[in-house]
Amino acid sequence: MEKYLYITLFAPLVGSLIAAFFAAKPKELYTGILTSALVGISFLSSIVLLNYVDADTILHVKMMDWISVGNLSIPFGFVVDQVSIIMMVTVTFVSTIVHIYSIGYMEHDKSFNRFFSYLSAFVFSMLILVMSDNFIGLFIGWEGVGLCSWMLIGFWYHKQSASWAANEAFIMNRIADLGMLMGLFLIYWEIGSFQYDIVFANILNLNINTVTWIGSFLFIGAMGKSAQFPFHTWLADAMEGPTPVSALIHAATMVTAGVYLIIRASDIYFLIPDVGYVIASLGAFVAVFAASMALVNRDLKRIIAYSTLSQLGYMFVAAGLGAYWIALFHLMTHAFFKSLLFLGAGNVMHAMNDELDIKKMGGLYQSMRATAILMTIASIALAGIYPFAGFFSKDKILEVAFNHEAYLLWFALFIGAGMTAFYSFRLVMMVFFGEQVHKRLGFHPHEARPFVIYALTPLALLSIVAGFLEYSFHAFVIDLLRDYKFTLDHSVGWMLIVATTAIALSGIAFAVYKYKRGGFGAGVESLGIYKLLVNQYYIPQFYNNAILKPFAAISTFFWKQIDLKIVDATVDLIGKMFYNAGGKTRQIQSGNLSSMLRWMVAGIAVMLVLAIILRPMV
């Protein structure tokens, strides 16, 4: 079975390296086909592994030693267990589809080969992240996906905005990574190892304070990768990257790594429910906070990005409250419908010559029926309507919050569900139905190529049916993860389902009703709340004015005022002092005999005085 593990892991790397070889050359179709095939192989072999793993069998291999020094020993080790295999299958599945889709999407891009090289490198890093058997291996993948994200956001590097967004994403993640590193250091110095099994076996022996610190530090790392408040700004800006990248990295896989970390370290978080509660509260906050920004945004991709942010909040609520398997389940279903939504958006963008403003679209259903249907399916799933996938996973999270008697969190999520339904259908309505604004603006939309549409159907299928996997999923993962006990009365559970469905349906209904009639008038745009939301609560401006500008100013101050004018000037002053002293005293050597004799007398006098003062005491 080890063979399959290595195939899963390294097939994307091989693809990436081969494509990298052609990176600077003009488009070669086969780099796209080859990398897609290799990622596909990786998916198939992870399916084999999925069948192999059960309650008694997991796969754990040690490839080689990496760092060993002092008491420390870090191997390259990989584990395929119930959690990692779910992630592996999800990641490779979505990646395969995104790869195939990209062959169509990047068709006319001059850096076609380079794109596939980066995309496959990302898949490899993500697999390292989820398959590693220790925290440092996870960190390798963690930074690796960060690097690939940087390369892919900045893929069109000639655009200033793209390279800015790429750097922002990398640096924001680095800030959070420092927190994570602190957590890792603490783990090492308390336990002496980074291996999951050893750490989780010994975590109980630690003082609860220490565990709290470890949990908090690791969560800071998770916040960065999963773009939780206050690190959320990079995700919306990351939409500068090509759309397949947004679908794969900034929706389905990389941004869920933070959730994965919490699930993976559930043995740690189980011991510190208080930290868990903080995580859940932050998650609930982000769920509403991000959804509110999605309500008013006009940028097709940013709306979906905020929606991702909001759904990540839902996952953190589940993970924070101890419902690890539900978090993982939502992570999986979300990957399906959110990537579908993004890839559909990619079709729309292509049809509209990369126009992103949804106000300029409208009525696209006429010209791109298939995409419209696919995106509607994804939106229903996202809104959480029975029997679509989102219903099963999202409703469960609301139940968890209620079950936990965290009514405030539940209420936030409840409102969030309504907002989600509204903004999803606002998007669908404004893009595909209503007045055909694009005609007036001179766009000639066309449907994407058939193979692109076919590539998306598996995602659509799973967005519809994945929810029914709930029971088998549950049975499968609780062999490793702690189960979550519902103590809710059956009738209360039903009431919750009814309530959530009702608010979601009314959100959809409201959006459909409103946007059929041309939406809100221009009056809305002058409202203070609208301005607040459309400016993203002025947080990007705040970061710019309170952090970036002062940082640049202080840096320049350090350089020009302190380094040059104080530190260096002092050194030069000392140097000049000697130089000037030399210059002054040189005049003594004038060659004038009488003045030199006078100096000699003075010198002798000084020496005599010194001889008297410093004479040995007898």
Partner 1 sequence: MDYILSLVVFFPIVAGSFAFLVDAKSVRVFGIAVAIIEFFLSIVLWLGFDYGIDGMQMVEHFSLISQFGMSYYLAVDGISLFLVILSTFMTMVALFALSIEKDIKNLIIAVLFLETTMVGVFLSLDIILFYLFWEASLVPMLYIIGAWGSERRIYAAIKFFLYTFAGSVLMLVGILYMGHLYYETTGIWSFAITDWYQMVLPFNLQLWLFGAFFLAFAIKVPMFPFHTWLPYAHGQAPTIGSVLLAAVMLKMGTYGFVRFSLPLFPDASIYFMIPIAIIATVMVIYAAMVAYAQEDMKQVIAYSSISHMGVIILGTFAMNTEGISGSIFMMISHGIVSGALFMLVGVIYERRHTKMMREFGGLASVMPSFATIYAIMLMGSVGLPLTIGFIGEFLSLMGFYRIDWIITMIAGTGIILGAVYMLSLYKRSFFGPLVNDENKKLKDLNFKEYSALIPLVFLVILLGIYPKPVLDPISSSVKNMIRIMDKKVINKESKEILYKANSIGGGR
Binding site for partner 1 (CB under 8 A): 23-24, 64-72, 136, 139-140, 143-144, 147, 150, 154, 157-158, 160, 162-164, 167, 170-171, 174-175, 177-178, 181-182, 184-186, 188-192, 206-207, 209-210, 213, 551-552, 554-556, 558-560, 563, 567-568, 571, 575
117 versus 379: smaller Cβ distance to partner 1: 117
Furthest C-alpha separation in the chain? 118
CB 334 within 8 A of CB 454: no
574 versus 608: smaller Cβ distance to partner 1: 574
User: To the nearest whole angstrom, how small is the minimum distance from the Cβ of residue 358 to partner 1?
Assistant: 28
207 versus 491: smaller Cβ distance to partner 1: 207
User: To the nearest whole angstrom, how small is the minimum distance from the Cβ of residue 560 to partner 1?
Assistant: 8
User: Residue 295: in which H helix or E strand, if any?
Assistant: helix 273-296
CB 470 within 8 A of CB 383: no
Using CA atoms, how far apart are residues 427 and 295, in angstroms rounded to an integer? Answer: 9
Q: Work out whether strand 59-69 and strand 72-80 pair parallel, antiparallel, or are unpaired.
A: antiparallel
The sign of the dihedral angle between the CA atoms of 541, 545, 546, 547 is positive
Q: Which residue has the tokens 């920004």?
A: 293
Bond from prior residue into 450 cis (ω within 30 degrees of 0): no
The alpha helices in 369-465, defined as continuous H runs, are: 369-383, 389-403, 407-432, 437-440, 450-465
81 versus 143: smaller Cβ distance to partner 1: 143
457 versus 580: smaller Cβ distance to partner 1: 580
146 versus 507: smaller Cβ distance to partner 1: 146
CB 334 within 8 A of CB 315: yes
Copy the structure tokens of residue 86: 């779910």
Angstrom CA distances, 114 to 23, 131, 166, 390, 503, stand at 4, 26, 17, 35, 45
User: To the nearest whole angstrom, how small is the minimum distance from the Cβ of residue 258 to partner 1?
Assistant: 18
221 versus 313: smaller Cβ distance to partner 1: 221
User: Residue 74: in which H helix or E strand, if any?
Assistant: strand 72-80
181 versus 437: smaller Cβ distance to partner 1: 181
Q: Between vectors from CA 300 to CA 299 and to CA 301, what angle results, nearest 5°?
A: 95
Using CA atoms, how far apart are residues 331 and 315, in angstroms rounded to an integer? Answer: 7
Q: Which residue has the tokens 């999986």?
A: 332
